[in-house]
Amino acid sequence: MKRRDIIILVIVLVASLTLYLLRPKAVDDASAGVYMRVSIAGQEQELVPLTEDREIRIEQDNGDYNIIHIFDGGFEITEANCYNQDCIHQGEVTVDNIGGRALANEVICLPHKLVLSLVSADGAEPETAQ
Amino acid sequence: MIKTRRLALAAVLISIMLVLGYLESMLPVSPVPGIKLGLANSALIVSLYWLGIPVSFQIMLIKNVLLGLLLGNPMLIPYSIAGGILSLTVMSILYKRRGVSPIGVSIAGGVTHNIGQVLLAMIILSTPSLVFYLGLLMPAGAAMGFITGMIAKTLMRHFPPSRYLNRPTNQ
């Protein structure tokens, strides 16, 4: 390792730490209930209230589908016909586990361009800092 | 003769990268999507130092397209190419500077590969909050970059290019 190698490493670690500290940690007002926002390729499709236990299926015109298990205060993807199944491995999002998840309040299926976000009643993103 | 050797070496490096990429895909799924070893990057670094910038860009593009088809997920090819272009651009800027070893080049390359992929995802998904995901991806990219940089450095020390590329032959 030479001198400038160390400089590169320090820049990377400082930038990472900054982003890590600024990451979303909680939904700002969960008192009015929380919702799952469904977006496909950046277009918002619907806002689903997270109340009772049920399953919904999101199917796109080209046959891509994801099956989502919704429960009180959270959701998870249980089945998808994508290549990598990353969205299933991302696990469940709940009001309480946002701060500990790599993708915070989101579950993302990259091949299907699907983004599911846990948001509060007014559709606001979680707070970015506390 | 030297031109032929360079062509042969480029082909060998692409093959090595494809095999490494294929083997990596057989490892258990990482709990954090986007984190991977990136062992193939060590071959790309060797290519950068030995074959230069233009050939390395060709190798990177060919490898990403072929590996995407080989693994059966062509939808993800644009992401690896976005990461590859940003990463190789940064590595090209750094590799001849004094005070930067292949390890520093590789760390910068690993991290910028993550940045390129996340930037494209932010654009395609219109989800700017993905930027925070880099807080986790970048340290992993730096760690993996350190490993691949060590491998590239060791390789280049034990197999100096002069033995293969520069020596005029009389055969």
Over the stretch A30-85, which tens digit does the pLDDT of each residue have? 667 889 999 998 888 888 988 889 999 999 998 899 999 999 889 999 999 987 78
List the one residue out of B51, B54, B59, B69 whose CA is nearest residue B15: B59
A46 within some domain:
yes
B168 within some domain:
no
Q: Which residues of B31-66 are buried (b: 16+ CB within 10 A; e: fewer)?
A: ebbbbbbbbbbbbbbbbbbbbeeebbbebbeebbeb
B9 within some domain:
yes
| pLDDT confidence of residue B171 | 43
Domain membership of residue B95 as a residue range: 2-161
B40 within some domain:
yes
- Chain A and chain B share a number of CB contacts under 8 A equal to 123
Q: How far apart are the first and last CA of chain A?
A: 38
pLDDT above 50 for B128: yes
**Domain at A61, CATH number:** 2.60.320.10
How many distinct structural domains can be found in chain B?
A: 1
| pLDDT confidence of residue A129 | 40
Cβ of A113 within 8 Å of Cβ of B125? The answer is yes
Burial class of residue B169, CB neighbours in 10 A (0-12, 13-18, 19+): exposed
pLDDT above 70 for B168: no
Percent of chain B surpassing pLDDT 90: 68
| pLDDT confidence of residue B41 | 94
**Domain at B151, CATH number:** 1.10.1760.20
pLDDT single digits (tens) B14-48: 999 999 999 988 887 666 777 888 899 999 999 99
Domain membership of residue A69 as a residue range: 3-120
**What chain A residue is nearest to B104 in terms of C-alpha separation?**
A5
Cβ of A1 within 8 Å of Cβ of B101? The answer is yes
A130 within some domain:
no
* Mean pLDDT value of segment B109-136: 92
**What chain A residue is nearest to B120 in terms of C-alpha separation?**
A110
List the one residue out of B56, B149, B148 whose CA is nearest residue B102: B149
At A37, phi and psi to the nearest 5?
Answer: -95, 125
Which of these ranges, B51-55, B71-75, B89-93, B94-98, has the smallest mean pLDDT?
Answer: B71-75
**What chain A residue is nearest to B126 in terms of C-alpha separation?**
A42
Strand extents, DSSP E, chain B: none
Return the H-helix or E-strand segment holding A45: strand A43-49
Per DSSP, the three-state class of B163 is helix
Summary mean pLDDT of chain B: 89
How many distinct structural domains can be found in chain A?
A: 1
Cβ of B101 within 8 Å of Cβ of A89? The answer is no
Cβ of B132 within 8 Å of Cβ of A16? The answer is no
